[in-house]
Amino acid sequence: MNVLPPSRAVTGGRLLSALALSTLLALPATLLPALASADGEVNIYSARKEELIKPLLDRFTEETGIQVNLVTGNADELVQRLRSEGINTPADILLTVDAGNLHQAKASELTQPIVSEVIDAAVPANYRDPEGHWVGLSMRARPIMYVVGKVDPAQLSTYEDLADEQWRGRICIRSSSNIYNQSMVGSMIAADGIEAAEAWARGLVANMARPPIGGDRDQIKAAAAGECDIAIANTYYLAGMLKSGDPAEVEPAEKIGIFWPNQPGAGDGRGTHVNVSGAALTKAARNADNAVQLIEYLVSPEAQAWYAEVNGEYPVRSEVEISPELVAWGEFEADTINLARLGELNAEAVMLMDRAGWR
């Protein structure tokens, strides 16, 4: 994966092997880049499942001596919990998915700026809040997924093109209540303006093969089962299905191809819509120094490599290798919009989707 300022090109030129990753995590801490020794603890509210983050937290404790206390839960519920607890919250860090959720926490005055030259140097500016309230830890794309043999990729070009009548009754996508779709619509508003984005949403709704139901994996499975020809889903879901070892997941995933929309030469060429999982420093953090040190670790090459291999996500650091599944999907240009803008446009996106009949 390479960063080519001012645009971002995600490439398949670097391959991370499971053996290399396991070797990296097995190295004694003394052989890895040193982190400052510290005492005490750090408390995390995480909307990411424990298995997707705990190995990294255990490694951080091994290297620093800082005890990490983890509470997991639903993203909206954790934000509400932070609101309810106010200055009495034990949480130092909020880990959650999507810039929309991170922006919500900031807008609710639950966070504070993260001051770190390490983070600023490691993570591209468009994957960080302009005022430093949150930082992206891993990146995922939301491309067009199609059934191989039923859709000619030469027919595909842009997100905007999905409103064309040729796709009538052929698209599966989850509901408008999903933050991933809200942020995608926010990117459409930013690129095309509110009127054009609403016209696009109406066309997309008209082209849905069925009322929205289920999560991203359900859209992929529906396409593979013949309910639709195109699904919109985040890349890490497809990667997870391919790696699961479960025939009920692997077999439908193997029927699906990836098309990167809005590439140079197609439409405005702004790039494929991407988003992040990220971390925010809570406003009431009692262990702020330890929290910043942990976030710095999570953007380190070691942690980024783990995200890439285990979670099927793209690193936010350009020099970190990516997993075989991602390599197989090839290179693409990602939209370079600052993801904070998607959070700012969330309310408009939700109202637009409602007006368009997206349920």
The 10s digit of each residue's pLDDT in 198-217 is: 999 999 999 999 999 999 99
pLDDT interval class at 175 (50, 70, 90): very high
Phi, psi of 63 (to 5 degrees): -80, -30
Which range of residues forms the domain containing residue 257? 141-272+343-355
Distance CA 313, CA 347 (A): 27
User: What is the number of domains present in the chain?
Assistant: 2
CATH number of the domain to which 256 belongs: 3.40.190.10
Among 138, 113, 56, smallest CA distance to 308 is for: 138
In this structure, the answer to whether residues 152 and 225 fall within a common structural domain is yes
Q: Are 82 and 110 in a shared domain?
A: yes
Q: 149: which 2 tokens? A: 């043999």
- 38 in any annotated domain: yes
The residue among 37 and 336 whose pLDDT is bigger is 336
Confidence tier at 191 by pLDDT (50, 70, 90): very high
At residue 182, does pLDDT exceed 60?
yes
pTM: 0.88
Contact assessment for residue 191 and residue 270, using Cβ atoms and an 8 Å cutoff: yes
Whether 72 is covered by a domain: the verdict is: yes
| In a shared domain, residues 57 and 182 | no
User: Residue 197 — very low, low, confident or very high, per pLDDT cuts 50/70/90?
Assistant: very high
Q: At what angle do helices 18-26 and 301-310 cross, to 10 degrees?
A: 140
Cα separation, 308 vs 21, in Å, equals: 10
